[in-house]
Amino acid sequence: MELIDDSLPIDPMNIVEKVPNVLRLLGYPFNISKNHLLNVGSPHSWPILLGAISWLREVRRLAISRKFYQGTFLVLSIIS
């Protein structure tokens, strides 16, 4: 999340409570409940979480291109 916006730090101790709120702040169009994050191994959670990850990748790509075109030098580690 910090790669998209530095003001959105995530504390690993309460990630289950923070991620849905951060996604909502970023404008994610769907609701992700705490249960989806607690049960990541269950098949019914996968499509929802993979959709959120895909959406975050797109937001990150747009944020990088926006900073690039504004002339800001940005150094990010590649996440694959």
The answer to whether position 74 is within a domain reads no
Tell me the pLDDT band of 4, cut-offs 50, 70 and 90: low
pLDDT digits (tens, 9 = 90+) for 29-61: 999 988 888 888 888 889 999 999 999 898 888
Domain that holds residue 25: 12-69
Q: Is residue 79 part of a domain?
A: no
Domain count, the chain: 1
In a domain, 52, yes or no: yes
Let me know if residue 25 belongs to a domain.
yes
Handedness of CA 42, 44, 46, 52 (dihedral sign): negative
CB-neighbour burial class of residue 55 (10 A; exposed 0-12, middle 13-18, buried 19+): middle
Report phi then psi at 21, rounded to 5: -70, -40
Q: In terms of pTM, does the model score above 0.75?
A: no
Find the mean pLDDT for residues 2-6: 55
Domain at 28, CATH number: 1.10.418.30
